[in-house]
Amino acid sequence: MEQHVINDISLTARILGAAFYYPPAEKSDIVELLSHKNWVAEWPYGSDDEKQSIATLLSQTSLNEETLTQAYQRLFIGPYALPAPPWGSVYLDNENVLFGNSTLDLREWMLEHGIDIALTQNEPEDHFGLIVMMVAWIAETRPVKLNELLAEHLLPWAYRYLEKMSLQSAFPYYEGLAMLATLTLKNWQSQLNVTPVEKQLFC
């Protein structure tokens, strides 16, 4: 695998993973980057038109009475039902539960490859943002395992999640973030020639 491909995957995975996982106050530098269109010229994937349309959405960090922090709370924390839950097992388990079999499969894969995520609370490892940040780490440290992680543990459900986020977030910034992630994942898949494992989706 060429080094520039690894570098592009690592950089974009770090940005997207953090943007999806951390509350806006903890990732203010990333929010600043994405909301001011500074990323468009440097992002390695997509046409200028695609990126400009996404950048327009990402620049809208408030909507009516809702702030970006409030939107994050509504979309990722609750207390009400999340429009697009960010955990893989919600999509891959027929009862839409957290810590389902797909989570346990990911945990076993991580254990097998010596990957330890320092979680601050008891939460599933198959959060979209966490797995995308894991993609960055795998790309940098053991790129031969990258296809396996994408094919088995991320791509089988990620596009469904991102579609729901794009359509149901009701907030332009997160709609744009979902579109940017979709564009990026499709380019990873194409560049690495990844064939996602076919898994039934229940959500």
Contact 110, 116 (CB under 8 A): yes
The answer to whether 194 and 150 have CB atoms below 8 angstroms apart is: yes
Q: How many CB atoms lie within 10 A of CB 10?
A: 18
Q: What is the mean pLDDT of residues 121-142?
A: 93
Phi, psi of 66 (to 5 degrees): -95, 130
3-class secondary-structure state, position 119: coil
Pair 92, 102: CB distance under 8 Å: yes
pLDDT digits (tens, 9 = 90+) for 132-153: 999 999 999 999 999 999 999 9
pLDDT tens digits for range 24-54:
988 889 999 999 988 999 999 999 999 999 9
- By C-alpha distance, which of 117, 133, 130, 113 is closest to 10? 133
For the 3-192 domain, the top CATH level (class) is mainly alpha
DSSP H helical segments within 22-60, as ranges?
Answer: 28-35, 48-58
